[in-house]
Structure 1
Amino acid sequence: MPERPEDLTPFLDWVRRQTEPVAVDTETHGLEILSGDPEYVRLVQFGSQDEAWNVPTELGSAFKEAARQALRILIAGPGITGHNFHGFDAPALHAHLGMDYDELCRNAVDTMLLSKLVDPRSVQEGGIGSSLKPLSDHYIDPTAADTQGDLTAVFRSLGLTKAVGFSRIELWHPIYQSYGGGDVILTARLRPKLEAELRRFGVPQRLISYEHEVARICGHMQIRGLLLDQDYTRHLSDELRREEEENTRIVRSYGVEKLGSPAQIGEALLGMGETLIMPGKTAPERTAGGALKVDKSVLCALADTDLYGNRLNVRTPNPLAVAVIKAKRAAKWRTAYADNFLATVDRNGRIHPGIRTMQARTGRMSVTNPAVQTLPSGDWKIRRAFLAEPGHRIISVDFQAVELRVLAALAGVRRMREAIAAGRDLHSFTAELVFGPDFTPKHRKISKAIGFGVVYGGGAATIQRQTGAPMEEVKRAVAAYHRTYPEVRRAANRWQREAFANGMVTTSVTGRRLPLDRDRTYAVTNYQVQSAARDCLGQALINMDDAGLLPYLRLPIHDEVIASAPAAEAEEIGREIGKCMTFDLFGVPIESDPEVGGRSWGSLYLPEDELAQHDEWYAAEPVAA
């Protein structure tokens, strides 16, 4: 623990003597590492398997310079190991030590990425998880000191919450220093254990390298962030509050005093003559405790909408159900989105969503803090809060029906491949094969729900809820779907057999290990397709980086990439991004659909005749970067 500038000479001598990769970690004032505060990093820790140095950069320029020198020595020499390095520590070192992010990642291995390639399951799913402590318990020593737990106890004894404890604890507190130094020693010991597991399981090195490249590219997007229109967002928060209050008054007019009480809502609906019996059921559904079930699916059915708010036109909407849905939606949108955006915006007017590049078991990405990945489908109001740079236009490039194309490629579905080659809309094509040439829009909707149900593991009940169609009709359509595309079921059976022979693990086309649950082996198709679709997106991001498009990229969202480009070049940049998202997968073309909007992300979701009114918020005085 160097306390004085003269203590840094033996530290740098130690760094120069290292011949194996050195673990690097940071201790910061909190999780907002890209807040713009130049003093946000308190410690930079360096560790071998049995020795650690905690460099207190909080003490000034000499300590910061020593940390920079050490990092450059390691990058040019034995390399760096870090746990969540690409997503947290490298951005923090870039922001607060002024180091180039690509330089930091050049010779770095992230043990969090390695752990997810060994076992992508969370603790709740029966896996080890990807946090350092449980991984260390499993692979190194379950009796190792729990300095994280000790530190939390110290915070509590000082009357500090975890949110502020890292900022206020005294720099030289022995538990704080042990916590910092212990983490890098554990990380240094963890790396060879995980690398041995990857070799044992035959995970290809090209997949490991690929995941590090994807993480580096997404790190750039996280650092750059999204420009937030704060005036509009405050207006939106106020508007949502009024909508919540208005619909809550309507709910109370029906005798429901507590919006969050399913029992009160159910009693009021029964009093209005509703049976609460879902289509295809013979009795109301009940919770495990025996109470009537009044969840979103029940309310949407009574409100005559699907789960996404689209009108079904199968009944007269119940006004109480409609008001409950609207009140809850407004409350969620206000707190989870508008208010959260304002709470996380940095001093430069940007938010920096964290991109977790391997969040799901299938490797699918997620975007959190704030969770812009969960924005309501098709809605412009929330997305309107995010802007392209001044003088820029927003670009969205989305894969075209990527899950179904991947399914057609992996399972060799002949008729799907023929339809794709002919440029047919796959949902209409399926509806024609299942229901005949005189199929209706309702039939197309059912066919679409079945197609996605096969990919995402949804059964007839889920499809019925989404479409409002009678259960018997759904079951007949599902049976006809499998007669039409027999290769889908054959591929699922083959993948299940392979998983049973491989310890309940199915292996993706890129070599990714995907553990299956014994009671959910039907999910194998979902895992295979989602994983391959995610890797299509990852490869597309690498293609964009190779093409020099990384400076324009802002976010990967599901199967979509959001970008910002100068207005005069936006159309061309959109086409170039689209080219990077277009390639062949086992003879099936993976294609994209570039779209250029106005200044805000929300402009992509509005008809052209409404754009002028929508743009009035920033037409007079564009929001500065």
Structure 2
Amino acid sequence: MKTITVIDTFAFFFRAYFALPPLKNSEGFPTGLLTGFVNFIHQLQKDHATDYIVFAMDSEGPTFRKEIYPEYKANRPAPPEDLMQQLPVAIRWVEMMGFANLSKARYEADDVIATLTKCGKEQGIVAKIVSSDKDLYQLLDDDRVYIYDWVKKKAVDEKGCLEKFGVHPRDFVDFQALIGDSSDNVPGVPGIGPKTASKLINEFHTLENLYAHIEEAGTPRIRKLLIEHEEQAFLSRELVRLVDDVFDSCALEEYAFEDRNYLAALKEEFEKYEMRQALRWASQEGSGRAASAKASQAEEPAASAVSAPAPFEAVLLESEEKLEAVFSQIPEEAVVAFDTETTGLDTRSAKMVGFSFAFEEEKAYYVPVAHSYLGVGPQVSLEAAKKAIEKLMRHRIVGQNLKFDLSLLYSHLEMEPIEPEADTMILAWLLDPGSRVGLDILAQKFLGYQMKSFKETVKKGEDFSSVALEEAAFYAAEDAWATRQLYFRLTELFKKGGLEHLLKEAKEVEFPFINVLIAMERLGIRVDTKHLRSLKEELSAELARLTQEIHTLAGTEFNIKSTQQLGNVLFGTLGLKGGKKTKTGYSTNESVLRNLIGEHPIVEKILEYREHQKMLSTYVDPLLKLAEKDPEGRIHTTFVQTGTATGRLASKDPNLQNIPVRSELGRRVRRAFVAQEGFRLASIDYSQIELRLLAHFSGDAALREAFEKGEDIHMATAIKLFGPEEAAAKRNFAKSINFGLLYGMGSRKLADELGITTKEAKEIIEAYFAAFPTVRSYLEQIQQQAKEQGYVETLLRRRRVFDYEGASGMMKAAILREAVNTVFQGSAADLIKLAMLDIDTMIREEGLEARMLLQIHDELIFEIPEAQAEETAARFRHTMEHIYPLEVPLKCSVSLGGSWDELK
């Protein structure tokens, strides 16, 4: 799982200052804090790899907490002078190294941390908070959020919170409201200490519940204190509760922690402050992070230890004569790296500006085609470029993200599809599916080479066509040169690591799959724009109606989209009970509103309003805009082959794997996706594929028998767990556990899902393993492999690598869940890829008019001529069901319809 490290900047600097001796340089300038900071960065690069990193800062000026309570943080003593001397230097260093440092007016660093943590959780990214501030304990969430004390080298999780304060993180804000915080001058309830507070909070959980049952709360003395200071308790909670939405959005990819030596930017600073050890670290090549990567699963030396390759020469070929002269030197069997430069990232609309290639160790070439700026020199014509590229494609072509380049060539140069030799992005992904696979990152990681960035080359607001030819030649040639070097380096790692089977999988599955995806992206799927316009009008009218009804029920007009105004109406004007006030107002999220259903008719109207608004803004408006841009009214998604660690395809711009299906409004959106005139849409969906894989891998006799007999697997499970009499009523219980076990569901989550006690959930899980005895041993076997060998494998032996040994306690639990999930979800991804390749071959070789349009995880959607729809769909179904020999039969369901909504 990916990780974001968020540093509580000032708290960290203070901690570093007090943790180290009062060091000074020869001029008497203090350097203890700076030394601690540099040690941390060096250690982070060496031992604590992260995917993203952010320094959270307090804002200048008063915060909203000061506005609420002017005495907030009023009693803080002035920090030591030598600490204050070092602070601006340390902050400058953060900027010099290129790290993101975020702050927001009126908010504190802790609020920035809470926002980034929430962002990470929503994106499945683990958050590591570098701090020792107890205020952040409210954010702890096992497997997803933990606090790391750099000085003590200790991670704090939910258990640590319970051990230290006696309360769970989810109750920590209310606990703090009672005990206050003398360092921040948060008053709390005088006379109530941590032991009393934890006892009260563990019993009542919230201040609202505590005061609602005040007569039952502790001793008469405690009750008296609580009653006397009730207002103070609620004020204190408002002060300590963190805000988690200080930014409208947070693009975490902007905060990527790159595999480079960040300290190198500070060499002159280290000389100035006489920090000799830091200077040695700054002068080292590489960052040390790659040393911990399990690149080859063998005795292969760390990638970062490899010496940087010799410099290369970038050659500009601005005439056909020069181009022909170089082409005559390319050996027939040469491995040629190829790359294009374009005006944009959409291959259907972007234009090719030029192309680069490399077939030698120390040279790479750039051919300009369509640079356009005042005074631009000679270039090669598009026709000559096309002929040259066609010649290049006869060689063994390698590239980085070749799907983009080939799609561009097929669309604009009308070239026939080629079978590439390799794609370095896919090779790197196969080596470690959880790692980042951008060319800059791979060059640094495996070649020890720092590439020139796109931002350095292309001015903001311009595209590559405005770049001067000489500068463009270096940038583009560097891409081709680095790609070729990477190809040989990665291939070497596979071979030395005993991973030749992955090279075979790449050659037979992943590389041919590139052309399948290109074809699907180019085809797109047709959208009924008339239906979408009608739906937009209807949703807009419904929103206007609901707005009027909500205002009438509220007795006042207000902005329904404003959570602050809505909260004031619900809990202030209307006086509904159960409102939880945050720093920015009352919470009005979906769970809060659903708990209020039945309290007032306005609640149901607001939920209905939100559903309509989401459907309009998230789906109808964006889809309509995209469809109206296309001459044929088709929407074209982009499939990402390396977008998940399990191997599943991802879809983006737009994400067509996420169109809602369960709600009536969601189905009406799906109704807009239609077949072309004279065609039918066909859906072929693998039935319970992951459970069938469980039966195949585990060898469990009971599971296999149920599948071989074609039984309802969930009913068969229910009979085994609850007996024939209760089975029908408890089929959903069986379904939850059947799928839950594959995703690491424990007793607590099963209890929440089924609405039963944890004890009952544990009993059901035990009964399940008793009924299917070999399942437990197989799942434990997967986890043991992740622990001992550091990886698990899918059906086609694709690997997912885990650093179990170096993980924290909570991360280890997450790794074990991910390991199990990867085997089944990854193997299902293997099967559907194989099926797509075979079906694509059938379509091409037989000249079928059928088109493969979409892949939605275990489902394929086709567009087939109406007269042949049933027969062709049956053939595709047969291919999918016989694509790979499993110990249990693969089964698919088929449905035909005029629209996506009609497909069942």
Q: Same fold, TM exceeding 0.5?
A: yes
Do the aligned partners of 2:563 and 2:586 also contact (CA within 8 Å) in 1? no
- Corresponding residue number in structure 1 for 2:353: 42
1:369 aligns with 2:653: yes
Q: What is the aligned counterpart of 2:420 among 70, 83, 107?
A: 107
Cα distance in 1, alignment partners of residues 585 and 745 from structure 2: 25
1:513 aligns with 2:795: no
Gaps of at least 5 residues in structure 2 are 1-315, 372-377, 803-810
Cα distance in 1, alignment partners of residues 443 and 355 from structure 2: 21
Cα distance in 1, alignment partners of residues 493 and 585 from structure 2: 47
What's the TM-score, normalizing by structure 1? 0.80
After TM superposition, the structure 1 stretch with the greater mean CA deviation from structure 2, 62-71 or 260-269, is 260-269
Q: Secondary structure at the match of 2:707?
A: helix
Q: What is the aligned counterpart of 1:68 among 386, 394, 401?
A: 386
Give the letter aligned to residue 138 of structure 1. K
Residues 415 and 109 of structure 1, relative CA distance in 2, 3 Å threshold: same
- Corresponding residue number in structure 1 for 2:318: 3
Q: What is the aligned counterpart of 2:622 among 330, 340, 350?
A: 340
What's the TM-score, normalizing by structure 2? 0.57
Alignment of 1:394-543 (within 5 A): 394-439=681-726, 443-469=730-756, 472-502=759-789, 504-516=790-802, 518-520=812-814, 521-543=816-838
Cα deviation for residue 513 of structure 1 reads: 1.1
Do the aligned partners of 1:259 and 1:324 also contact (CA within 8 Å) in 2? no
Q: What is the aligned counterpart of 1:58 among 359, 366, 370?
A: 370
- Corresponding residue number in structure 2 for 1:592: 892
Q: What is the aligned counterpart of 2:872 among 573, 593, 597?
A: 573
1:22 aligns with 2:313: no
Residues 27 and 62 of structure 1, relative CA distance in 2, 3 Å threshold: closer
- Corresponding residue number in structure 2 for 1:190: 486
Residues 377 and 460 of structure 1, relative CA distance in 2, 3 Å threshold: farther
Do the aligned partners of 1:221 and 1:553 also contact (CA within 8 Å) in 2? yes
Residues 512 and 180 of structure 1, relative CA distance in 2, 3 Å threshold: same
- Corresponding residue number in structure 2 for 1:12: 327
- Corresponding residue number in structure 2 for 1:240: 539
Give the letter aligned to residue 424 of structure 2. T
Give the letter aligned to residue 509 of structure 1. L
Do the aligned partners of 1:406 and 1:585 also contact (CA within 8 Å) in 2? no
- Corresponding residue number in structure 2 for 1:88: 404
Q: Secondary structure at the match of 2:370?
A: helix
Do the aligned partners of 2:367 and 2:380 also contact (CA within 8 Å) in 1? no
Cα distance in 1, alignment partners of residues 604 and 728 from structure 2: 25
Give the letter aligned to residue 586 of structure 1. L
Cα distance in 2, alignment partners of residues 93 and 471 from structure 1: 58
Q: Secondary structure at the match of 1:387?
A: coil
Give the letter aligned to residue 423 of structure 2. D
Do the aligned partners of 1:147 and 1:175 also contact (CA within 8 Å) in 2? no
Q: Secondary structure at the match of 2:667?
A: coil
Cα deviation for residue 358 of structure 1 reads: 3.4
Q: What is the aligned counterpart of 2:881 among 551, 565, 582?
A: 582
Cα distance in 2, alignment partners of residues 446 and 424 from structure 1: 17
Cα distance in 2, alignment partners of residues 171 and 326 from structure 1: 51
Cα distance in 2, alignment partners of residues 182 and 404 from structure 1: 47
Do the aligned partners of 2:318 and 2:379 also contact (CA within 8 Å) in 1? no
Do the aligned partners of 2:661 and 2:670 also contact (CA within 8 Å) in 1? no
Q: Secondary structure at the match of 2:843?
A: coil
Give the letter aligned to residue 538 of structure 1. K
Cα distance in 1, alignment partners of residues 743 and 685 from structure 2: 19
1:136 aligns with 2:450: no
- Corresponding residue number in structure 1 for 2:496: 200
Give the letter aligned to residue 390 of structure 2. R
Q: Secondary structure at the match of 2:861?
A: strand
After TM superposition, the structure 1 stretch with the greater mean CA deviation from structure 2, 355-364 or 196-205, is 196-205
Residues 529 and 74 of structure 1, relative CA distance in 2, 3 Å threshold: same
Cα distance in 2, alignment partners of residues 505 and 291 from structure 1: 47
Give the letter aligned to residue 369 of structure 1. D
- Corresponding residue number in structure 2 for 1:612: none
Cα deviation for residue 190 of structure 1 reads: 1.2
Do the aligned partners of 1:337 and 1:370 also contact (CA within 8 Å) in 2? no
Cα deviation for residue 369 of structure 1 reads: 1.1
Do the aligned partners of 2:684 and 2:893 also contact (CA within 8 Å) in 1? yes
Do the aligned partners of 2:356 and 2:365 also contact (CA within 8 Å) in 1? yes
Give the letter aligned to residue 334 of structure 1. L
Do the aligned partners of 2:338 and 2:480 also contact (CA within 8 Å) in 1? yes
Give the letter aligned to residue 352 of structure 1. H
Cα distance in 2, alignment partners of residues 262 and 189 from structure 1: 56
Task: Encode CA deviations 1:511-558: one digit per residue, 9 max, x unaligned.
Answer: 111123523113322111111111111111122134337742111111
Residues 243 and 505 of structure 1, relative CA distance in 2, 3 Å threshold: farther
Cα distance in 2, alignment partners of residues 457 and 247 from structure 1: 41
Greater relative contact order structure (CA < 8 Å, 6+ sep): 1
Do the aligned partners of 1:23 and 1:82 also contact (CA within 8 Å) in 2? yes
Q: Secondary structure at the match of 2:381?
A: helix
Alignment of 1:345-356 (within 5 A): 345=627, 346-356=630-640
Q: Secondary structure at the match of 1:33?
A: coil
Alignment of 1:385-396 (within 5 A): 385-396=672-683
Cα distance in 2, alignment partners of residues 559 and 533 from structure 1: 7
Cα distance in 1, alignment partners of residues 773 and 613 from structure 2: 45
Gaps of at least 5 residues in structure 1 are 122-126, 277-283, 304-315, 606-625
Cα distance in 2, alignment partners of residues 257 and 112 from structure 1: 47
Cα deviation for residue 243 of structure 1 reads: 4.1
Cα distance in 1, alignment partners of residues 750 and 541 from structure 2: 34
Cα distance in 1, alignment partners of residues 397 and 830 from structure 2: 26
Cα deviation for residue 340 of structure 1 reads: 2.2
Give the letter aligned to residue 812 of structure 2. R
Cα distance in 1, alignment partners of residues 601 and 401 from structure 2: 48
Task: Give the aligned CA root-mean-square deviation in angstroms.
Answer: 3.3
Cα distance in 2, alignment partners of residues 248 and 447 from structure 1: 42
Do the aligned partners of 2:638 and 2:653 also contact (CA within 8 Å) in 1? yes
Residues 335 and 53 of structure 1, relative CA distance in 2, 3 Å threshold: farther
Give the letter aligned to residue 51 of structure 1. K
Residues 476 and 28 of structure 1, relative CA distance in 2, 3 Å threshold: same
Task: Encode CA deviations 1:269-298: one digit per residue, 9 max, x unaligned.
Answer: 79776658xxxxxxx9x99x9999765556
Do the aligned partners of 1:23 and 1:80 also contact (CA within 8 Å) in 2? yes
Q: Secondary structure at the match of 2:625?
A: helix
Identity of aligned residues (%): 27
Do the aligned partners of 1:84 and 1:110 also contact (CA within 8 Å) in 2? yes
Cα distance in 2, alignment partners of residues 479 and 370 from structure 1: 43
- Corresponding residue number in structure 1 for 2:452: 146
Alignment of 1:137-176 (within 5 A): 137-142=444-449, 144-151=450-457, 154-155=459-460, 160=461, 165-166=462-463, 169-172=465-468, 174-176=470-472
